[in-house]
Structure 1
C-alpha cells in the first residue's frame, strides 16, 4: 500500500474489474485464500498482495497489531465508561433547574460522543475482541451495515460534536464579551434551532457516504471451500464523476469545515475567553475591595463556568488537531505531491481516532471537578442522604435559577 498514492489505499479499495469469460455470474475467483497457501502468508504479506483487494477484508484496513489491542481489548472498557459517564451527564443536565442554553449544548455533545462510539461497538467487538477480523464478511447486507455503522454514522455524529463544541465556545464568548447581545441570541428557542441545524448539516455532509459505494456478492475459495463474500465497488454515479473529483471534493470540504475552520476558531475563542476571564478576575478583586459581595460572587461563578468550558474545548483541540493534520497531509499526498507513507498514515489515523475515543469520558470528570452545581445535583440524584443546599436555601445555584433569570447571569454550568 505504501507505494500507491491514490484514495483507495487510505479509504478503501474500489476495484473496477471486468468479468472473465469463464467467470460465473457471482464473480467466482479460485485463487483467493486457498487453504494451505493462505497459512503461509503473514498478514502484511497478504494485505500487500492483490488478493486482499478482491473482497472486503477488515484485517487490511488498519495494522492489526495495533488495531486488535486498541479496539478489541481497551475499547470495550472505554465504551462502558463512556456510556455510563455521558448518560450521567444527560441525566444531571436535564434536571429542571439545570436546563439552560449552555447545558442544552453540553447535553447534545454528550449524546453525540456516546453515539459516535456506540454504533461501531458491535462490529468492533465482533471483529477485534472475538478475533473475527481475518474472516471474509458476508452477506452483502452485513457489509453494508459494517460500512454504515463503523464509518458513516460515527463520522456524522462526530461532525455534529465538533460543530456543537464550536457553538458552545461562540455562545460562551457572547455571554462573557457581549452580554447585551446574549439576551437576544442565547435564548433557549434559538439554541434548540441551532442544534437542529447542526444535526441536519452533519447528516447532509455524510449523505454521499451512504451511497458512494456498493457491495456485490463474490464467490471465492477460502480455506479450501467456496465462500460467498462481499466485493466493494464505487457507485456508478461516483464513477461518472471520477473518483478523484469526488474524494477530493468531499475531503476538502471536511478539512475546511469540519477540521480547519472549527479548530482555528476554537483556538481564537479560547484565547479571547481566557483574556476576558483575566479581566473579569481583576474586576472581581476591585468589587471585593469595595465590599460588593453579591456582584463579586456572580463574577466568580461566571469565571468558573468560563474556565471549565475552556478546559473542555482544550481537551477537544488536543485530540482533534492531530486528525486534521493527518487528513490535510493525505489530501496533499493524494492530489499534489506524494509526501505520505500510508503504512505510517494508517497507524497515525488509528492512534488519533483511539485518543478521540479516550477523550469521551473526560468531560464528566471535568464537570465533577470544576462545577459545584453539577456535583450538588449529582449528589441529590445518586447519593442517598446527601445534604444539599437547596434544602437549606443557601446555594448560589438555586438562588440564581429561582430568582430573576436572564441569559447574561447564567452561571449554572
Structure 2
C-alpha cells in the first residue's frame, strides 16, 4: 500500500496504513536511504534542500513520513474549521448536557436498570470528547498543527489521548447502545425473562464486562508504536522531534497479522455486528410498539384506562429509545462503511481514494461528536419524568413530591413493577 494512504479516524478508523512491512518508512522510498544503510545518522535528517519546504511540498515528499507532523496526517482545510473552531463549542455543550443527564439519572428515584445504561452511555460519550480536546485546541484552535511534535512524551500523549483512549470509550458506548436495545427488546417482547435477566445487579455486571472488553480491545495499541528522538532541519534550524516506529513485538508477530486481526475484530464486533443487530432490534421494537398501540386502542374502547395508560407510557419509552438508537446508527454506519472499505483496499484490492477517504472520515467523525448533545434533547422532549426531575433539581431547587411520590416512576418505563420496569 502506498505511503499516501496514511489516514486517521478519530473514533473509528485509526491511522493505520502500515498493513504491509514493505510500507515501512525506511524501505522502498526513493529519496531516503534504506535502513540498512542508515546507521550512523538514523536519527537525523540534515538535507538543507528541504529546509524551506512549503507545507504542501513537505507533505507530498517522502520526508513527511520521517517524523510526526499533524498537518500531513489530516486534511487541514477541513480539520481546522471543524475541530479547531466548532468542536470547542460542541465540547462545552456535550460536557454540560451529559453532566446534567448523569446528575438527573443518578437521583435515587431514577435509578433503574435502563437508566443506569443511559448514564453510562452519557459518561462514555463525554470522555470520548474530553480526552482529545486539549490536543484539538493546541493543534487547530491555536494553529500549531504545522509544527513537528516533540518531545517523545508529547508524541506518546498525542497518540494515547487522540487515538487510543477515545476509541476505547467510543467502543464501550457502541456496546452500551446495543445492550440498551437488547434490554428494551426483552422488556417489551419477553416480559417473563426480564424479571430474571434485567435486574440491577446483572446490568451493573454487564456494564463492568463491557468496560473491561473495550479496554482489552484497545490495550495492545498502547504498545504497538514506539517514539524515538529524531533530529531534523525545520525552517532552517536543527530541531529534535520524534519519529514513530512499529514496536519490535509487532514485527516479531507480523505487522500484517497484527493489523489485519485488529481491524477484522473491529469491523466485525465494533461496527458490523452491533449496527446490524441494532437495525434488527429497532425494527422488532417498532413492530411491538405498533402492536401495543392497537391493543391500547382496544383497551381505550373498553374503558380500561389504567391498562391503557401503562401501554401508552411503555410505547413512549420504546419510541424514545428507538429515536436514540436511530440517531446512533445514522452517524455510526458511515464510519463502519469507510472502515470496511479501508480493510478491503489494504488487503485485497485497491478501491479507495485515500484523499477522499481522509475527508469522509473527518466529516463522519465530526458528525459523531455533533450527535453527543442530542440525547439530552431527546430525553427532555420525550420523557416527562426526566423533565420533571430536571426542573426540580435546577429550577425549583428541590424535589417536590407528586401524586404518590416520584419514586414510583421510572424515566423510561412509567410506573414500576417488581422488576423496577414496566413490561408488556
Query: Considering the TM-score relative to the shorter chain, is it more than 0.5?
Result: yes
Partner of 1:324: 336
Structure 1's unaligned 5+ residue stretches are none
Match of 1:391, SS state, is coil
Partner of 2:97: 85
Cα 1:21/1:11, change in 2 over 3 Å: closer
Q: How does 1:2-401 map to 2 (within 5 A)?
A: 11=16, 14-16=24-26, 18=35, 20=37, 23-24=40-41, 27-31=43-47, 34-35=50-51, 37-38=52-53, 41=54, 43-384=55-396, 391-393=401-403, 398-400=407-409
Q: Do the aligned partners of 2:186 and 2:193 also contact (CA within 8 Å) in 1?
A: yes
Cα 1:404/1:241, change in 2 over 3 Å: closer
Q: Provide, for residues 240-264 of structure 1, a one-character-per-residue CA deviation record: whole Å limited to 9, x for no partner.
A: 2222221111001100000000000
Q: Do the aligned partners of 1:312 and 1:366 also contact (CA within 8 Å) in 2?
A: yes
Identify the structure with the greater helix proportion. Answer: 1
Cα 1:342/1:2, change in 2 over 3 Å: farther
Q: Provide, for residues 57-83 of structure 1, a one-character-per-residue CA deviation record: whole Å limited to 9, x for no partner.
A: 100111110010011000000000000
Q: Do the aligned partners of 2:7 and 2:358 also contact (CA within 8 Å) in 1?
A: no
Q: Do the aligned partners of 2:6 and 2:17 also contact (CA within 8 Å) in 1?
A: no
Cα 1:32/1:114, change in 2 over 3 Å: farther
Q: How far has the Cα of 1:290 moved from its partner?
A: 1.2
Matches of 2:420 and 2:39, distance apart in 1: 75
Q: Do the aligned partners of 1:333 and 1:340 also contact (CA within 8 Å) in 2?
A: yes
User: Which shows bigger deviation, 59-68 or 399-408?
Assistant: 399-408
Match of 1:407, SS state, is coil
Q: How far has the Cα of 1:214 moved from its partner?
A: 0.4
Q: Do the aligned partners of 1:2 and 1:342 also contact (CA within 8 Å) in 2?
A: no
Structure 2's unaligned 5+ residue stretches are 9-13, 19-23, 27-33
Matches of 2:156 and 2:188, distance apart in 1: 47
Cα 1:341/1:73, change in 2 over 3 Å: same
Q: Provide, for residues 350-382 of structure 1, a one-character-per-residue CA deviation record: whole Å limited to 9, x for no partner.
A: 111000000000000000000000000000000
Aligned Cα root-mean-square deviation (Å):
2.3
Q: How far has the Cα of 1:309 moved from its partner?
A: 0.2
Matches of 2:326 and 2:195, distance apart in 1: 27
Match of 2:244, SS state, is strand
